[in-house]
Amino acid sequence: MVAIDTGTKELLADLSDRVLTLTLNRPEARNALSPEMMFALRRLISEFGDHADVGALLLTGAGGAFSSGGDVKRMAVRKDGEQTAEAKFQEMFARHSESAGAIRKLRIPTIAAIPGPAAGAGMALALSCDLRVMAEEAFFTTGYARVGLPGDYGASWLLTRIVGPGKARELMLLCPRTTAVEALSLGLANRVVKLADLQQHSREIAVGLASGPRIAYRYIKDNLDEALDIDHATAIDHEAARMLRAQSTADHKEAARAFVEKRSPKFKGS
């Protein structure tokens, strides 16, 4: 395992078995998203998200929470200062798009391991990942309306596409606590496991994906993302083009040989 210097104790990072693990590390504040933490998260995603040595991203939280979202205590004492409205918007846009937005855009598999509460922006970060593994004690809540805010980090967009418009409105307006079992039934979670097994189970998924066909994963994610916005005929056309490109890769040829030879393929990402 190789520890990575994030520049702050509020975000931990390491790289092992081609899995980049990022741990939100403010357990005393339920991993509320501080400026220092988010700056480090944005930098690490930018620097390592498309790195050749990284095959999967695992995002989790230290202590008993994933993330309680925005730091409401800091919000309460925040002063407007001398920034213009445009400067504030550009800063907020960058913060959101370079974290949750950047995770969503990664073409490697991404997994959120959720040990406890994931609220507001913390929930949005988890929903930005491809897969979510929740501990039995964990729960989701949007929480925005409770503090007089409409939502950020793409939460409304993500919820609408994962659970549908009707349920998304309920979750955003009423801010219910969605248990892990309920999250599984809604598609907000992919697996629910015992807390003691969460990190190992999530890591096993991440390691398995990290050793898989990188180019094929990229095309799979492209296909799935486009499926939200294009018609069936266009989807077939785009899938066919990507199939042809994938068939020419060394990974596909290796997988075909491995199938004939009855062994596990050894993918190299080319």
∠ CA 191-192-198, rounded to 5°? 95
What digits encode the pLDDT tens for the residues 191-247?
999 999 999 999 999 999 999 999 999 999 999 999 989 999 999 999 999 999 999
- Domain positions in the chain are 2-210, 214-260
Record the pTM. 0.94
Give the CATH superfamily of 2-210: 2-enoyl-CoA Hydratase; Chain A, domain 1 (3.90.226.10)
In sequence order, the β-bridge partners of residue 24 are 11, 61
Q: Are 204 and 196 in contact (CB under 8 A)?
A: no
Average pLDDT over residues 145-167: 96
**Tokens found for residue 8:** 């702050």
Q: Are 69 and 143 in contact (CB under 8 A)?
A: yes
Q: Quick one: pLDDT at residue 177?
A: 98
- Give, in order, the Cα–Cα distances in Å from 200 to each of 77, 111, 150: 39, 13, 35
Q: In a 3-state reduction of DSSP, which class is residue 127?
A: helix
